[in-house]
Amino acid sequence: SAAEKGGYQHFMAKEIMEQPKAVRDTISPRIQDGKIVLDNITLTAEQIKGFSKIFILACGSAYHVGMVAKYILEKFARIPVEVDVASEFRYRHPIIDDKVLVLVISQSGETADTLAALREAKKLGARTLSIVNVVGSSIANDSDDVIYTWAGPEIAVATTKAYSTQLAVIYLLAIYFADLLGNLSKEDYAYYVSQLQELPDKIAEILSNKEHIQFLASQFFNVKDVFFIGRNLDYAMSLEGSLKLKEISYIHSDAYAAGELKHGTISLVEDGTLVVALATQNKLFDKMMSNVKEVKARGAVVLGLTTEKNTKIEQEADHTLYIPEMCEMMLPSLAVVPLQLFAYYVASMKGCDIDKPRNLAKSVTVE
C-alpha cells in the first residue's frame, strides 16, 4: 500500500530516500568520542597484523561493494585484496589459509552461493568476517564475526540502501584497520572519521536535488545502450550504476574501466550512444577528459559526473551531474546516489515494474 511505501510510489524510491538515515544508523553507534569502536568483533589487533591477504566474496550488488572495497582497503590497510563472485570462488581451488581474512558481504545473509563460499573458506582455515543486514541470518551465524548494516528492511529487489550501508561499513573497517596497523597519523585519522560522519548529510544534499536527475532521465529514457566509464574508484562504483539501470529499466548497459574502452568496446559507440563518464578523482580527471573526447569524436552523448568544483567538465560533457566535495575515497558513496535516481526515473518513465523487475528475486537461495 501507499502507507507502507511512506507516500512514495515505489519501495525503491522510499529506500533511496532513506539512505541518509540508514548510513547514519550504521556509522554513528560505531564512532565514540572520535574513535571507531567495533567492540563486538573478536578479531584481535595481533590477528589483523598477521593477515597476508583479504578475500572478499559476494554476489550482485554486494560484489560491487567488494569491488570498491578493494581500492579502499588496499589504500588504508595496505593489505592485498582479492574480490570474487561467490559462485566462481568455490570452483577454482582457492588459495586460502589461516593468514587470510575472508570478508563476506550480503544484504539478506541467505544467498546460497555466498553461504556456500563462506563455508568453503572456513573449511580451508580462513578467518571470516561478514557484513550483513539481516540479524540472525545464516551468513551472520556462520561467520566468526559479523558487522551489521543497520539499513532496516529492504523490500525493492534492486538494492540501494543496503549497498550504501555496506560501503559505509567498509570505510569504518578500513580506517579501523589502518589505525591498528599504524598507517594513519592522528590528524589523518581524525580527518577521515569526521568525513565519514558528514556522509549522511552529503547524501541528503544530493537527494534534495533530485529534480535535475529526473530531468536528465527524461532526456534519455528511450536510449538503447548505455556505457558507464570511470577509473579506479569511479570504475568500481560504476559497475553498480550500470547494474541498477539494466536491472530495472531493461536498457542494455555496461561499465568499463575508461582506459580499457579503446581496446575493443569503443567499436560499439555510435551516433547518440549515451556514455556516463564518472570523473570524481582529481588525479584522473584529465585522463577521463581524454576518454570523453574519444567517445564524443565517435558520436556519443556524454553525461559527466564530478564534484562541484570541477565545472571545467562542461567544456567536454553534454550534460553534467555534480556531487558535493569530500575526501576522494568516500566519493563513491555520493556518486552512486544520482545513478540510483537516474535508473529509477528512467525505469519509471518506461513504465517498468520497478520494485519487482522480471526474472529477478530479492534473495536467491538456490545455487
User: In terms of CB distance, is 159 or 281 closer to ligand G6P?
Assistant: 159
- x/- mask, ligand G6P, residues 89-128, rule CB under 6 A, reads -----------------xxx--x--x--------------
Nearer to ligand G6P, 212 or 362 (CB): 362
Residue nearest ligand G6P (C-beta atom): 60
Q: State yes or no: residue 19 binds ligand G6P (CB under 6 A).
A: no
Q: State yes or no: residue 135 binds ligand G6P (CB under 6 A).
A: no
Beta-bridge mates of residue 227: 254, 275
Task: Specify the stretch interacting with ligand G6P by CB under 6 A; choose among 54-62, 118-126, 202-210, 262-270.
Answer: 54-62
User: Which of 118/277 has CB closer to ligand G6P?
Assistant: 118
Selected range binding ligand G6P among 19-27, 60-68, 277-285, 301-309, rule: CB under 6 A: 60-68
The site for ligand G6P, by CB under 6 A, has a size of 16
Our finding on whether 363 is near ligand G6P (CB under 6 A) is: yes
Work out whether 360 is an interface residue with ligand G6P (CB under 6 A).
yes
- For residues 61 and 239, what is the distance between their CA atoms, to the nearest angstrom? 9
Among 12, 16, 62, 199, binds ligand G6P (CB under 6 A): 62
Residue with cell 529514457: 221
Q: Work out whether 242 is an interface residue with ligand G6P (CB under 6 A).
A: no
Interaction between residue 66 and ligand G6P (CB under 6 A): no
If one asks whether residue 241 binds ligand G6P (CB under 6 A), the answer comes out as: no
Q: Which stretch binds ligand G6P (CB under 6 A): 200-208, 222-230, 328-336, 359-367?
A: 359-367
The position carrying cell 555496461 is 254
Residues in CB range of 51: below 8 A, 6 or more apart:
79, 99, 100, 101, 127
Q: Does 237 bind ligand G6P (CB under 6 A)?
A: no
Task: Tell me, yes or no, if 14 is annotated catalytic.
Answer: no
Tell me: does residue 246 bind ligand G6P (CB under 6 A): no
SS3 assignment for the chain = CCCCCCCCCCHHHHHHHCHHHHHHHHHHHHEECCEECCCCCCCCHHHHHHCCEEEEEECHHHHHHHHHHHHHHHHHHCCCEEEEEHHHHHHHCCCCCCCEEEEEEECCCCCHHHHHHHHHHHHCCCEEEEEECCCCCHHHHHCCEEEECCCCCCCCCCCCHHHHHHHHHHHHHHHHHHHHCCCCCHHHHHHHHHHHHHHHHHHHHHHCCHHHHHHHHHHHCCCCEEEEEECCHHHHHHHHHHHHHHHHHCCEEEEEEHHHHHHCHHHHCCCCCEEEEECCCHHHHHHHHHHHHHHHHCCCEEEEEEECCCHHHHHCCCEEEEECCCCHHHHHHHHHHHHHHHHHHHHHHCCCCCCCCCCCCCCCCCC
Q: Phi first, then psi: what are they for 156, rounded to 5°?
A: -60, 140
Cβ-based nearer residue to ligand G6P, 117 or 275: 117
Residue 157 binds ligand G6P (CB under 6 A): yes
What's the min distance (Å) between Cβ of 270 and ligand G6P? 31
Q: Does 60 bind ligand G6P (CB under 6 A)?
A: yes
159 forms part of the interface with ligand G6P (CB under 6 A): yes
The answer to the question of residue 61 lying near ligand G6P (CB under 6 A) is yes
Whole-number minimum distance, CB 338 to ligand G6P, in Å? 19
Active site residues: 362
Site of interaction with ligand G6P (CB under 6 A) = 59-62, 106-108, 111, 114, 157, 159, 360-364
